[in-house]
C-alpha cells in the first residue's frame, strides 16, 4: 500500500510518502501529485516512511527530478529511510539528488546560511532538549 500526504505553503510543497513505492499505482500516484505542484519553487519529498522501493520507484524519482529541473523547480529528498538511502547510494543517486533532513531543508528555506545552521547545532549539541531539534 502507498499513501501520500501533501502540505503546501506559498511556494514549497512537502510531499510525505508512506508505504511501498513500487511500479504500478504507487508510481502513478506519486507522479500525479508531484506534477500537480508545478506552481511551487521547491518540492520536498519526505521518504522517511518508505518501506519498499523497486526499479519502477527509482525510475519515477529520477523522472520527476528531470521534470522539475526543466521547469526550474528544485526537488529535495528529505529524511529517507535507511533502506531508501542505501538504494539511492548504490545507484549513485545521492550525487544527483539533494538529500537532507527535513529540519535542515526548512532551516535553509527560512533564509539561514549553512554556517548559521552549523553554529546552531554546535551551540545546542550538549543540551538534551535542543539535541532533538538540531
Note the pLDDT tens digit of each residue in 31-88: 999 999 888 999 999 999 999 999 999 999 999 999 999 999 999 999 999 999 999 9
What one-character DSSP code corresponds to residue 88? Answer: H
Is 25 among the domain residues? Answer: yes
Rounded to 10 degrees, the C-alpha dihedral 124/86/21/28 comes to 100
pLDDT value at residue 106: 75
CA distance 7 to 107: 17
What one-character DSSP code corresponds to residue 41? Answer: S
Residue 64: CATH number of its domain:
3.30.750.24
- Domain range for 17: 2-100
Is 74 among the domain residues? Answer: yes
Is 111 among the domain residues? Answer: no
Per-residue pLDDT tens over the stretch 2-25: 999 999 988 899 999 999 999 999
Q: Position of cell 518508505?
A: 50
Is 120 among the domain residues? Answer: no
Is 112 among the domain residues? Answer: no
Counted domains in the chain? 1
Is 134 among the domain residues? Answer: no
Whole-prediction pTM: 0.77
Is 125 among the domain residues? Answer: no
Amino acid at each position: 500500500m502507498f499513501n501520500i500526504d501533501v502540505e503546501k505553503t506559498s511556494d514549497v510543497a512537502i510531499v510525505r510518502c508512506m508505504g511501498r513505492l513500487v511500479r504500478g499505482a504507487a508510481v502513478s500516484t506519486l507522479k500525479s501529485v508531484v506534477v500537480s505542484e508545478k506552481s511551487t519553487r521547491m518540492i520536498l519529498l519526505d521518504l522517511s516512511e518508505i518501506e519498499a522501493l523497486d526499479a519502477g520507484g527509482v525510475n519515477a524519482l529520477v523522472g520527476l527530478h528531470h521534470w522539475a529541473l526543466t521547469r526550474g523547480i528544485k526537488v529535495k529528498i528529505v529524511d529517507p529511510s535507511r533502506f531508501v538511502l542505501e538504494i539511492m547510494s548504490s545507484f549513485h543517486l545521492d550525487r544527483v539528488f539533494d538529500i537532507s533532513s527535513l529540519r535542515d531543508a526548512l532551516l535553509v528555506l527560512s533564509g539561514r546560511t549553512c554556517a548559521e545552521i552549523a553554529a546552531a547545532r554546535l551551540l545546542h549539541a550538549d543540551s538534551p532538549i535542543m539535541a532533538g531539534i538540531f
